[in-house]
Structure 1
């Protein structure tokens, strides 16, 4: 499988929003439909343009996942549900580390067991916790940090 990682391109915007939507519906089981719709509108209406987006493309040049960065903080990481468990999330984090350096930070919903497990398996450690998410909603966040092992 020959995947490539490229900067955000406007022509894949709707595909990235679809990847986000399907991944959130699968993994964010603690959200109600109205909550998903709230965040969906944010993403649809420009949230992808507020961060530095890198997209993983498969050999058919179809997006399979994406990571959104604000300096060294991962603001979003979503992988197409058809590609979960295939190393795309890890590849996107390694790309972020390559271009941003270490440490990397991420806030993850405490109730999202899959994401918490993914980041901890990758080597992120908890540095804090907030009761509210960045939109002021009552979805607790775990603040995590990853420091690359010394070479």
Structure 2
């Protein structure tokens, strides 16, 4: 199924955070509850405003997946767990590569599903950081698209 990809309005940020939280709980098993609670207000109040957001919507217009891009880098891509495996992430990533010229992404090393997803699309790890961007002990793989 092809999903409509469009922009996200600031008035939709709470819906985006709901998708983010559901996705993180389904995929980021290495995070502690206090980490999720730490990141949630940062996502809502800071991180979403720092990127160009695009959404994938279902037939009734609900956001089922989203991505954020800044400076030709994919900063975030999250799919609601009820919609995983239906090609939404692939469609969003292809859109980002083809239309937004992204060629970089950082991914949690412990999220092996995501690492494999990006490798499938031709991204390769070029560097590893032992801490995430907030200084937490979650290693990050810095990946680049190989042409």
| Aligned-residue CA RMSD (Å) | 1.4
SS at match of 1:132: coil
Name the residue aligned to 1:76.
76
Looking at structure 1, the residues matched to 134 and 7 of structure 2 have their Cα atoms a distance apart, in angstroms, of 26
Q: Secondary structure at the match of 1:18?
A: helix
Aligned-pair CA distance for 1:28: 0.7
57-66 vs 15-24, greater mean Cα deviation: 57-66
* 2:56 is equivalent to residue 56 of structure 1: yes
Separation in structure 1 between the aligned mates of residue 146 and residue 96 of structure 2, nearest angstrom: 12
Matched, 1:43 2:43: yes
Deviations 1:7-36 (A, max 9, x none): 121232111100000110111111110011
TM-score, structure 2 as length reference: 0.93
Q: C-alpha displacement at 1:2, in angstroms? A: 4.7
Over 6 Å off, 4+ runs: none
- Structure 2's unaligned 5+ residue stretches are none
8 Å Cα contact 1:71/1:100 also seen in 2: no
Contact 1:3–1:57 (CA under 8 A) maintained in structure 2:
yes
Specify the alignment match of 1:116 in structure 2: 115
> What SS does the corresponding residue of 1:46 show, helix, strand or coil?
helix
Instruction: Report what 1:23 is aligned to.
Output: 23
**2-structure distance, mates of 1:95, 1:62:** 19
Contact 1:55 1:66 in 2 (8 A): yes
Please give the alpha-carbon distance, in whole angstroms, between the structure 1 residues aligned to 2:64 and 2:70. Answer: 21
Paired residue secondary structure (1:119): helix
What TM-score comes out, normalization by structure 1 length? 0.91
Q: Which stretch shifts more, 9-18 or 26-35?
A: 9-18
Q: Could you give the per-residue CA deviations for residues 106-150 of structure 1, whole angstroms, max 9, x where no partner exists? A: 0100111111121112221111100111111111000111245xx
Q: For the residues of structure 1 that align with 2:11 and 2:133, how far apart are their CA atoms?
A: 28
